Amino acid sequence: MNYSTFICGRFELTLKRPLVMGIVNVTPDSFSDGSAHFSTDAATAHAFELIEQGADMLDIGGESTRPGADAVSEEEELRRIIPVIQNLRDCGKPISVDTFKPAVMRAALAAGADLINDIYALRMPGALEVVAAHPNCGVCLMHMQGEPKTMQAAPQYGNVTDEVYRFLEERRAAAIAAGIAASRICLDPGYGFGKTVQQNYQLLREQGSLSGLHSPLLIGLSRKSMIAAVTGRAPQDRVAGSIAGALAAANRGAAIIRVHDVAQTVDALKVWAATEQGEIHGA
């Protein structure tokens, strides 16, 4: 690695081991947990439970980005997430917000968010400027071919890994040119976003080549259809497959791993770290 820390709002995160980002979906239609945490109280309680399980960070989302998902208005997305951010801003962990709307980014940062996790990689008009105006907030730039409603219709690549690399390289350069420090940027290759099963696994197999981008990698493959394709499991039964994917990603340089099943992933990564890095920590 050519980096050891990641600036994320109020936090300077050490990247000596892969960090675990716990998912908090404040949506009625998430592919993995439906409306389980749709209310403010339920989402807040779930977030604190993830912290107890060992989450290093939290990722709050108010709009599903699953394939075929319907769009949500700015007003509705804000109604869902802002009270949750306010409830969690003093939880002692970085708060990420999964959004691509500049107005939502601005309000989320004002409410106490530390990281903007953007599936459009700050391509929406005004998004670059919002993040650049907040000198310490982190940002995750993700690769996606197409847009969530239709991205899985017929994704086409010459070479998926090469094209993802070039896209992330360009978006990273655009962010830096806009005044966003390199130390605030992490990159997500976008597993499941406009990619076939074969393309996803090629990208995972070749993920190590993305280290040439010189930014931490945030990886999200928890419970996704690429796991179902080889296990045949329903979303709630994809824990073991998701952990296997997380460990494969860790072996190929993942710095942050975004997951639903925090406790199980934390345990798996402790064993991985003891084996691969010689880091042994007691329970």
Q: How far is CA 251 from CA 194, 196, 204, in A?
A: 24, 22, 10
Candidate list 93, 195, 252, 258, residue with the active-site label: 258
Q: Would you call 101 a catalytic residue per the annotation?
A: no
Helices marked H in the chain? 40-52, 74-88, 102-111, 127-132, 160-177, 197-205, 225-231, 239-251, 262-276
Candidate list 224, 233, 238, 270, residue with the active-site label: 224
Q: Would you call 10 a catalytic residue per the annotation?
A: no
- Sign of the CA dihedral running 71, 194, 29, 55: negative
Helix (H) or strand (E) holding 5: strand 5-8
R_g of the chain, CA atoms, integer Å: 17
CA angle 211, 61, 227 (to 5 degrees): 55
| Catalytic residue list | 224, 258
